[in-house]
Amino acid sequence: MGLNSSKLFIPENAVFEKDLKSINSMINQMLSEKNIYRNSKYNMFLKGKCDEFTIFNSKKLYKHPKIEIDKIHSSIFIIPNSDLASTKKHICNKISIHYTRILQIIYLIKYIYDLENFGDKSIGGIIMRNIHLKDNLVEVSYCDSKQEEPYSFNNGVNFSNLSGFDMFVNTFLSKDESKNFLGQFQEMLSNYNKKKLKRFICKDVIVDNETHNKIHDATFQCQSGGENTKKDIMLKVTPYNPIFSWKLCLRSKKRVATYNRRIINSIRKLQSSYKENFSEVFSILNQLIIFNKSTETYELKLITSSDLDIIEIQMKRIIIMFFMQSIVEYKNVLNTITKYSLTV
């Protein structure tokens, strides 16, 4: 029985076009070219937009006199203009914040997953471009030197240039969450010392301990409990890592091996981790967006602020997993191919 390697395929471009098609379609119909909502009623954060609406809190209607008119067969509330003016600004501000939070999630998905290029410039796209299939051979590129920005005093790679990374770290994550995430990611790009990694994992309030154990194939036993100036996000990238930019790698090398079951399984595991991650992103969007069959357009669901709190945490976890699993599974593929490599 063969290894069924013929079904193993990695596109040269638009690497996740098929996997991201549904997500891309939904977001393109929700966002305009200016990255605001296509449906203007959700753009309450725009100046003067609130002036187009009369807004009042229905829970406060009991304070106002109500009259019945037989011919209209309806209740009519008499509300002073002063009351409308005093509450409108406050309510508009809350609505604006709510819609802005949802917009930020949709916007973040668009750029973290580089939907405009079907994932080519995302962390996943970078990883997949380091792996090539040719005939019955698998070829994995890696950098055999440090990767550094030219004329950089920080001696590292500027990950602010990675699609969506700066927004995720500096805007979407809290300061403590950002520090912990970057600490984990940095350790994975350097010595990948799991004892040092544990220090960050045990402080992680987004990704649970059991998930970390599965990602890193280790057991992390943790005890219970657990500046505003924008800067470039410089991370040190030691040798034997994926090539993030061919311009920054002084010594690029390749490992080449013929197909065998272990190599094929390691690549499929990498691809599977991306498919699962994209599926979770699609699930998030379905919590936020609904398709209106009568108008044939996508609309925002009515969700509470508490619902949105939960969705934001879920989204943080999914994106962190996207980065962590990319590095872990790449190293797994590289290590597996190295065992059977035809080149040294």
Q: What is the pLDDT of residues 287-326, one digit of tens each?
A: 999 998 988 889 999 999 999 999 999 999 999 999 999 9
In this structure, is residue 49 part of a structural domain? no
- pLDDT of 297: 87
Q: What is the pLDDT of residue 343?
A: 64
Over residues 245-253, mean pLDDT = 91
% residues pLDDT > 70 (the chain): 82
Average pLDDT over residues 238-263: 92
Lowest-confidence range among 42-46, 228-232, 282-286?
A: 228-232
Average pLDDT, the chain: 84
Burial 205-236 (b: 16+ CB within 10 A, else e): ebbeeebbeebbeeebeeeeeeeeeeeebbbe
How far is the CA of 293 from the CAs of 26, 27, 119, 283, in angstroms? 14, 17, 29, 19
**Which pLDDT belongs to residue 152?**
67
Q: Model confidence over 270-283: pLDDT tens digits?
A: 999 999 999 999 99
Whether 107 is in a domain gets the answer no
Rounded Cα distance between 31 and 106, Å, is: 8
- pLDDT at position 53 is 62
* Residue 64: inside a domain: no
Looking at residue 316, its amino acid is K
Is pLDDT above 90 for 159?
A: yes
User: What's the domain count of the chain?
Assistant: 1
Q: List C-alpha distances in Å: 211 to 27, 170, 218, 324.
A: 28, 24, 10, 11
153 lies in some domain? yes
Distance between CA atoms of 133 and 333, rounded to whole angstroms?
13
State which residues form the domain around 230.
12-36+116-339
71 domain-assigned: no
Please tell me which residue, 243 or 76, carries the higher pLDDT value: 243
Rounded distance, CA 212 to CA 137, Å?
Answer: 32
For the record, the structure tokens of 135 come out as 């005939």
Could you tell me the two tokens for 297? 């357009």
Q: How far apart are CA 342 and CA 257, in angstroms?
A: 5
Check: CB of residue 298 under 8 Å from CB of residue 30.
Answer: yes
Residue 67 confidence (pLDDT) = 44
Instruction: Provide the CB-side half-sphere exposure for 130 (13 A, CA).
Output: 33
On whether residue 279 sits in a domain, the answer given is yes
Domain-located, residue 75? no
For the stretch 126-143, pLDDT in tens is 999 999 988 888 999 999
| 44: in domain | no
* Mean pLDDT on 196-206: 87
Q: Does position 148 have pLDDT exceeding 60, yes or no?
A: yes
Q: Each residue of 87-114: pLDDT tens digit?
A: 667 777 778 888 899 999 999 999 999 9
Q: Looking at the predicted structure, is the pLDDT value of residue 226 above 70?
A: no
Residue of 2, 11, 29 lying closest to 290 (CA atoms) = 29
Q: Tell me what the mean pLDDT of segment 205-231 comes to.
A: 75
Enumerate residues 6+ apart whose C-beta is below 8 A from 7. none
Global pTM?
0.84
pLDDT at 86: 53
Q: For position 225, what pLDDT does the model report?
A: 47
